[in-house]
Chain A
Amino acid sequence: MQKNKASLPNIVEFEDVGLRYGQGPEVLKDIRFSLAPGSFHFLTGESGAGKTSLLSLMYLANSPTRGRLSLFDTDVNEENRKKFPEIRRNIGVVFQDFRLLDHLTAQENVALPLRVMGIKELEIKRHVNELLSWVGLEDHINAKPPTLAGGQKQRVAIARALINRPKLLLADEPTGNVDDRIATRLLRLFIELNKIGTTVVIATHNEGLIERFPFPRIHLSSGRLKILPSAKMSGIK
């Protein structure tokens, strides 16, 4: 075996990437970093620092205005546009604003990524209900998003991101609307997923969470990126 773990291609690679919206200023500058398979990072930075923008590059909602970005060893550019759906099917996204479809039930919302892939309805239902129980929504399977509380919607969004066991999970403030107990529980769910190989990036403001888990941080400040070591305070508590 010549290949060892270290030589596996990176899941994500940024090379001097810049992003600007329209004619506006560059909100991300000279971004250079990579995510190894199976890694787990927090994404931090104050409001407006560009966390959502950085994630949006990774889930292919925006494309870099300069530099090179590659996902799963495929360059993100116009020529590879045809491959985008395939790439996206390997990425689970928890959007900061959830983006649930209001006229569909929780179950149907969570099932959507599987439907889009053409998976049989029968298999879908079982999987979906199982996962909804996991995030504590077994009593709200048939509820529509407008009737759900913020934290419940968030968990539906999380379930939708996890339903097809993505290779890369991008979560934008996934614990912003839940109390600490549920936040911890959800984070453990992400950790479980990470243990079976999923690469995870979680954007969060929750200092408590960051300090409780031993994961390195991708820190953004005025559009520039720094990798910081884990903020877990060993010895305290």
Chain B
Amino acid sequence: MLIFKKYTQNLPFAYDTSSLFLPWIMMLMVFLASLTMAGSLAVNNMTEHWNSSIAGSLTVQVMPSSVKAAGNMLDNTMAEVDRAVAVLKQAKGIKDVRVLSDAELGKLLEPWLGNIDLQDDIPVPRLIDVKINMAENVDFPKLKDELAKYAPNASLDIHRVWLAKLMSLAATLNFLAWVVMMLALVTTAVTVMYATFTSLEVHRPAIELLHLIGARDAYISLLFSRRTLTFSFGGALVGMLLAIPLIIIIGTMAAGLEGGVLANASLSALQWLLIAALPFAAAILSGFTAFLTVGFKLKRTM
């Protein structure tokens, strides 16, 4: 803060209302931007976590077909497995479908059933290992419908379907976050522009004097941009500081939610740093906007 003090003292411009309201706008904008950014980063963290949990293989389980059905139960079950495989193979975004062999199944069941022969009439669910292509979006609801139609005893992991839905919601939220950030950015720039126009008008006599004693336009632009930068930074810093406890509270509440779905939302040190950089970015943005505005205006009218 000291470095800013040095530049604001002895400024040839007196204080004016435009310099008073600017910090408030900056505070609000950075407050909003901090919350939005924290939200977006948290959502990103969650989706990343979900992504890795969905990644790789997905398992479809085919329950033994009902005893009431005609014919051999094992044959019926295996026929349903084949139908399920057919459905899975033609679905979009699925890379590989493989039915687990008897040996593999036996291994999986060994802890519970001991060494058994799966060809016997013990009703054991059959498993299909499905590899997903992460680049494509698997239409889980559609897949679920088709499975229900052709292989009613096959079940898709509901949890993952639900996660996929959440992920598309997260993507939407992320997009909204960017829209909000962009709006905050544009609002900041436009606010600074208008504040600068007003300020230029208020300080016209001082500016004229500075010109008459030999100041170049760039000197005046620099004075304005430093002043704007300082005022903006003050407001922006407060905005961020107000947002931080709120982010922490919301974060803690989310972490306490049942199911632990939101447990992976907490921000990393780097992400906190990104939020801490917001007031600096906002101050630099407004200083730069003021510089350009003054340059533009002086060239046009003075």
Q: Measuring CB to CB, which residues of chain A are less than 8 angstroms from any residue of chain B? A: 59-61, 84-86, 88-89, 93, 99, 101-104, 108, 112-113, 115-117, 160
Choice from A86, A88, A103 contacting B213 with Cβ under 8 Å: A88
Interface band, chain B: 10 to 19
Known contacts A102-B14, A104-B10, A104-B12; decide if A112 and B210 are in contact (CB<8 Å): yes
- In the complex, the answer to whether A112 meets B212 with C-beta atoms within 8 Å is no
- In the complex, the answer to whether A108 meets B10 with C-beta atoms within 8 Å is yes
Inter-chain contacts of A113 with B (CB < 8 A): 213-214
Which of A59, A84, A99, A101 gathers the greatest number of chain B CB atoms within 10 Å? A101
Known interface pairs A61-B212, A116-B215; 14 further A-B residue pairs with C-beta atoms within 8 A, sorted by A's residue number: A59-B212, A88-B211, A88-B212, A89-B214, A93-B213, A99-B212, A101-B206, A101-B209, A103-B15, A108-B10, A112-B12, A112-B209, A116-B219, A160-B213
- In the complex, the answer to whether A93 meets B12 with C-beta atoms within 8 Å is no
User: A88: nearest residue on chain B (CB-CB)?
Assistant: B214
- In the complex, the answer to whether A117 meets B212 with C-beta atoms within 8 Å is no
In the complex, what's the smallest C-beta–C-beta distance from B11 to chain A, in angstroms? 9
- In the complex, the answer to whether A117 meets B214 with C-beta atoms within 8 Å is yes
List which B123-171 residues lie within 8 A (CB) of chain A: none
Inter-chain contacts of A88 with B (CB < 8 A): 211-214
Inter-chain contacts of B213 with A (CB < 8 A): 88-89, 93, 112-113, 116, 160
Inter-chain contacts of B209 with A (CB < 8 A): 99, 101, 112
Inter-chain contacts of B205 with A (CB < 8 A): 99
Q: How far is the CA of A112 from the CA of B46 in the complex (A)?
A: 57
User: B208: nearest residue on chain A (CB-CB)?
Assistant: A61
Q: How far is the CA of A113 from the CA of B215 in the complex (A)?
A: 8
In the complex, what's the smallest C-beta–C-beta distance from A108 to chain B, in angstroms? 5
- In the complex, the answer to whether B212 meets A101 with C-beta atoms within 8 Å is no
Choice from A85, A93, A103, A108 contacting B215 with Cβ under 8 Å: A85
User: 17 A-B pairs, CB-CB below 8 angstroms?
Assistant: A60-B212, A61-B212, A84-B211, A85-B211, A85-B215, A89-B213, A89-B214, A93-B212, A99-B205, A101-B12, A101-B206, A103-B14, A104-B12, A112-B12, A113-B214, A116-B210, A117-B214
User: B215: nearest residue on chain A (CB-CB)?
Assistant: A116
List which B178-211 residues lie within 8 A (CB) of chain A: 205-206, 208-211
User: A117: nearest residue on chain B (CB-CB)?
Assistant: B214
Inter-chain contacts of A86 with B (CB < 8 A): 214
Q: How far is the CA of A72 from the CA of B206 in the complex (A)?
A: 26
Q: How far is the CA of A85 from the CA of B210 in the complex (A)?
A: 10
Q: How far is the CA of A208 from the CA of B212 in the complex (A)?
A: 31
List which B204-244 residues lie within 8 A (CB) of chain A: 205-206, 208-216, 219
Inter-chain contacts of A84 with B (CB < 8 A): 211
The 10 A-B pairs at the shortest CB distance, nearest first, are namely A89-B214, A88-B214, A116-B215, A103-B14, A113-B213, A85-B216, A85-B214, A99-B209, A116-B214, A108-B10
Inter-chain contacts of A115 with B (CB < 8 A): 10
Q: How far is the CA of A210 from the CA of B208 in the complex (A)?
A: 31
Q: How far is the CA of A23 from the CA of B162 in the complex (A)?
A: 77
In the complex, what's the smallest C-beta–C-beta distance from A87 to chain B, in angstroms? 8
Q: How far is the CA of A116 from the CA of B15 in the complex (A)?
A: 20
User: B209: nearest residue on chain A (CB-CB)?
Assistant: A99
Q: How far is the CA of A89 from the CA of B219 in the complex (A)?
A: 14
User: A89: nearest residue on chain B (CB-CB)?
Assistant: B214
Inter-chain contacts of B210 with A (CB < 8 A): 112, 116
In the complex, what's the smallest C-beta–C-beta distance from A94 to chain B, in angstroms? 12
In the complex, what's the smallest C-beta–C-beta distance from A3 to chain B, in angstroms? 28
Q: How far is the CA of A102 from the CA of B219 in the complex (A)?
A: 20
User: B12: nearest residue on chain A (CB-CB)?
Assistant: A101
Inter-chain contacts of B14 with A (CB < 8 A): 101-103
Q: How far is the CA of A182 from the CA of B17 in the complex (A)?
A: 40
User: B9: nearest residue on chain A (CB-CB)?
Assistant: A108
In the complex, what's the smallest C-beta–C-beta distance from A127 to chain B, in angstroms? 15
List which B91-130 residues lie within 8 A (CB) of chain A: none
In the complex, what's the smallest C-beta–C-beta distance from B110 to chain A, in angstroms? 85
Inter-chain contacts of B214 with A (CB < 8 A): 85-86, 88-89, 113, 116-117
Inter-chain contacts of A160 with B (CB < 8 A): 213
In the complex, what's the smallest C-beta–C-beta distance from B279 to chain A, in angstroms? 28
Q: How far is the CA of A61 from the CA of B214 in the complex (A)?
A: 11
In the complex, what's the smallest C-beta–C-beta distance from A124 to chain B, in angstroms? 10
In the complex, what's the smallest C-beta–C-beta distance from B18 to chain A, in angstroms? 16
User: B218: nearest residue on chain A (CB-CB)?
Assistant: A85
Q: How far is the CA of A86 from the CA of B210 in the complex (A)?
A: 13
In the complex, what's the smallest C-beta–C-beta distance from B77 to chain A, in angstroms? 89
Q: How far is the CA of A90 from the CA of B90 in the complex (A)?
A: 85
In the complex, what's the smallest C-beta–C-beta distance from A178 to chain B, in angstroms? 22
Q: How far is the CA of A207 from the CA of B206 in the complex (A)?
A: 33
Inter-chain contacts of B208 with A (CB < 8 A): 61
User: A121: nearest residue on chain B (CB-CB)?
Assistant: B10
Chain B window 1-15, contacts with chain A (Cβ cutoff 8 Å), 1 for yes, 0 for no:
000000000101011
